[in-house]
Amino acid sequence: MKHLKSIFLALLLAAMYPAFSFNWPQLLFESDNFFAFFGEPRGSTYTNSLQFMAQDAVTAADSGTVLISIRTDTADMGWFPSTLGNAVILSHRNDMMTVYGNLETIHIDSDTSDVTEGNLIGESGSSGWQDGFSSLEFQVIDTKVKTVINPLVLMPSIEQKQKIPIIENLQASSDSGTWSVATQGTKLSAGIYSLYIAQQPDGMTYKTTVAVNGAVTETISYNMLKQDKNRLCFSGKRNYTYNQIFPDKARQFVAEVILSKGKNTISVTVEDIFGNEKTLSYTVEVI
């Protein structure tokens, strides 16, 4: 099943970005080389980048044109309040753009216009707003549709530890209150409910799917961030802002469902970017 899902993901991305992929901007061997994944909570918004763990050389993920080189330690850029710190932004074919932020040093000359895949860009460091982490902050942006893409979906596969996603503390919330669906004997009144699970402790999810009585009611994908009214959103049946997905530090929204009278079976599936998946089903009596 996981193999078929991996094939489906590859075909989907191939249709969206034909003959396009990026190489790794830093050497790494397994998923533990990251301290933050795309889509994780970051302050009061989503993380819109892939943040590497180690301080190391940074190279161009693909051949392209240098759009801008931000050097916060120079007199002409010292006024620029860049959260990326020292950074290089490259433009690529198919309206794609890559951002290399939080660099300690930049090795591209100010008059350089083009780079080739694998060319040295600089060294990662802690020049940005990273709370002292010495790491590369890497972004992939589709400028045509104004979408920030999870870099992992366009990168070569890497070794990852099999950390199965968790599904804990499923809650049903409405204007009347919040109930634990997993608590034995829970009875709900018929109506519309928002469902929440506990946030993932080890990395961000790639996709959540909820079904009620066998019918899928919502699938939220975490592979792209879209801009909607100047807010970054993930998409399901509608666009979801940060506060809608993460109403607090403990919960993550997964669906809005309609529960009718009688016994209702709620199935929740959580999948991470590496294909690890977990599904749990709950039966709740609705009166």
How many angstroms separate the CA atoms of 227 and 70, rounded?
Answer: 24
How many angstroms separate the CA atoms of 65 and 21, rounded?
Answer: 16
Encode 41-59: b = buried (16+ Cβ within 10 Å), e = exposed. Answer: beeeebbbbbbbbebbebb
Query: Is residue 12 within a helix (H) or strand (E), and if so which, with residue range?
Result: helix 2-16
Q: Which residue has the higher pLDDT, 158 or 49?
A: 49
Please choose, from the candidates 185, 181, 154, the residue with its C-alpha nearest in 3D space to the C-alpha of residue 257.
Answer: 181
DSSP letter assigned to residue 135: B
pLDDT at 48 over 80: yes
The label of the residue with tokens 């010495």 reads 134
* pLDDT, averaged across the chain: 84
Mind listing the pLDDT tens digit for each residue in 197-223? 999 887 778 899 999 999 999 999 999
How many angstroms separate the CA atoms of 112 and 90, rounded?
Answer: 11
Query: Residue 89 is encoded by which pair of tokens?
Result: 């932004």
pLDDT at residue number 161: 63
Least confident of 73-82, 85-94, 209-218: 73-82
> 130 φ, ψ to 5°?
-120, 15
- The average pLDDT across 226-247 equals 91
* pLDDT band, very low/low/confident/very high, at 16 (cuts 50, 70, 90): low
Mind listing the pLDDT tens digit for each residue in 142-152? 999 889 999 98
**Side-chain-facing half-sphere of 198: CA atoms under 13 Å:** 11
> 55 φ, ψ to 5°?
-80, 125
How many angstroms separate the CA atoms of 207 and 216, rounded?
Answer: 13
pLDDT at 96 over 50: yes
pLDDT at residue number 92: 95
Distances from the Cα of 278 to the Cα of 98, 212, 242, 272, angstroms: 32, 17, 23, 9
How many angstroms separate the CA atoms of 173 and 195, rounded?
Answer: 6
Mind listing the pLDDT tens digit for each residue in 102-138? 898 999 988 889 999 999 999 988 776 655 566 899 9
* pLDDT band, very low/low/confident/very high, at 228 (cuts 50, 70, 90): confident
